Amino acid sequence: MDDQPVLDPLGALRAPGDPAADVYLTGTVFLDIIFTGLDSAPVRGTESWARGMGSSPGGVANMATALARLGLRTTLAAAFGDDVYGDYCWDSLESGEGIDLGPSRRVSGWHSPVTVSMAYEGERTMVSHGHRAPPPEDAVPVCPVPARAAVASLGHGGEAGESDEAWIGRAAASGTRIFADVGWDDTGRWDPADLEGLRHCAAFLPNAEEAMRYTRTTCPREAARRLADLVPLAVVTMGSEGACAVDSATGRTAEVPALLVEALDPTGAGDVFVAGFVTGTLAGWPLADRLAFASLSAALSVQEFGGSLSAPGWIEIAAWWEQVKALAGQARADDEALRRYAFLDGLLPPGLRRGPLRRAVPTIGFRPA
């Protein structure tokens, strides 16, 4: 596993008796097929050709891979089909990324869910197909593995149900810090009751549209303040405007602007942002540094194909930071980035050389020659 992390952000905090897992995840793994280089949305009755294509594990695999590439010991509980797609996703996550799949299951006769994502004009449109895995493989383990943190999806769009809230409550009661995100509610109800699980959570990280709809506000910053009444830490991503956070436990607030990059594929950027924020939180960084690091991780990810395999590792983060510093004093210097990301100097060890990371490719594998 040549692309495994070269930096352990929690190294100074680890002690005997700590949980073996830093982060526990559960959810659905998809095979993602991503088309990029489309000039516009496909038009009914016509054929469109994409200039780029990639395949990679998707769904909850986006978050799992992003966390693992940042050096967190990640455990995933998910069902995998016993088809070729399932073989590829399992091998990619376990062997390729070092993710612990101990609580996961292979399901005989069940085909892997698939998502086709089309990226154009800085956004993406997705079409998915799949079926729930048959019992008992679709059930979350009754007792989630001990972990420092877990990431859970709440709300109607996250398909959270009674069993999901049960494991979240058990995990929180055992000392696991729960970071929650949310999915799009295609019913249009945006019922605040769907966020009942926030009472178990340490942080909530919706995007601006989700946050405003659940709080019935028209400003993402106001939405963050409203959500902070429900959860100790509310973080709202605001796309090209960056991200803001309200920590009701300490009274602190923070906001960072977005990094301007040329986006190839935004698939999974939200998951990468959450992974970066979880990493900084577990490492004990200041709130503004956590926001900045999460924004940087997401910005680097959109410059690559796919969701999971676009996630950056420490090599990419270090390379970006060296480039920013190299431009210091030049006309193209980003002085704001120099100030905002100065904390990386004390974090990144010199001489990071391992890599490169695996990236999404048009097919899921070639036969041996």
pLDDT higher than 50, residue 41: yes
Query: For every residue of 88-110, which 3-state class applies, written as one string?
Result: HHHHHHHHHCCCECCCCEEECCC
d(CA 57, CA 75): 16
List the structure tokens of 86. Answer: 């399932």
Question: Around Cβ 91, how many Cβ atoms within 10 Å?
Answer: 14
Average pLDDT over residues 187-207: 94
Phi, psi of 300 (to 5 degrees): -65, -35
List the structure tokens of 272. Answer: 């990468």
pLDDT higher than 90, residue 158: no
Q: State the alpha helices, DSSP H only, in the chain.
A: 60-69, 84-91, 162-173, 208-215, 220-227, 269-282, 287-301, 314-326, 335-340
Residue whose structure tokens are 């696991």:
176
Q: Which of the four pLDDT bands, split at 50, 70 and 90, describes residue 1?
A: very low
The CA-to-CA distance between both ends of the chain, in Å, stands at 22
Residue 362 DSSP code:
S
Q: Which of the four pLDDT bands, split at 50, 70 and 90, describes residue 5?
A: low
Q: Which of the four pLDDT bands, split at 50, 70 and 90, describes residue 267?
A: confident
Residue 268, helix vs strand vs coil: coil
Average pLDDT over residues 303-325: 86
List the structure tokens of 354. Answer: 């391992």
Q: Which of the four pLDDT bands, split at 50, 70 and 90, describes residue 160?
A: very low
Residue 236, helix vs strand vs coil: strand
Average pLDDT over residues 358-369: 70
List the structure tokens of 310. Answer: 């676009």
d(CA 65, CA 69): 6
Query: pLDDT value at position 363?
Result: 75
d(CA 315, CA 297): 12
pLDDT higher than 90, residue 217: yes
Average pLDDT over residues 169-187: 92
pLDDT higher than 70, residue 122: no
Average pLDDT over residues 55-81: 95
pLDDT higher than 70, residue 369: no
Average pLDDT over residues 113-128: 84
Query: pLDDT value at position 336?
Result: 82
With b for 16 or more beta-carbon neighbours within 10 A and e for fewer, the 166-176 pattern comes to: ebbebbbeeeb
Rounded-to-5 percentages of helix, strand, coil across the chain: 35, 20, 45
d(CA 253, CA 234): 10
Average pLDDT over residues 255-278: 87
pLDDT higher than 70, residue 11: yes
Query: pLDDT value at position 39?
Result: 82
Query: pLDDT value at position 291?
Result: 97
Phi, psi of 165 (to 5 degrees): -65, -30
Average pLDDT over residues 224-244: 95
As a whole number, the mean pLDDT across the chain is: 87
Taking only Cα atoms into account, the Rg of the chain, rounded to an integer number of angstroms, comes to 20
Return the amino acid letter for 184. W
Q: Which of the four pLDDT bands, split at 50, 70 and 90, describes residue 156?
A: low
**Who has greater pLDDT, 114 or 120?**
114
In the chain, pLDDT over 90 holds for what percent of residues? 60
Enumerate helices (H) and strands (E) in the chain, giving the number of each.
9, 14
Q: State the alpha helices, DSSP H only, in 12-91.
A: 60-69, 84-91
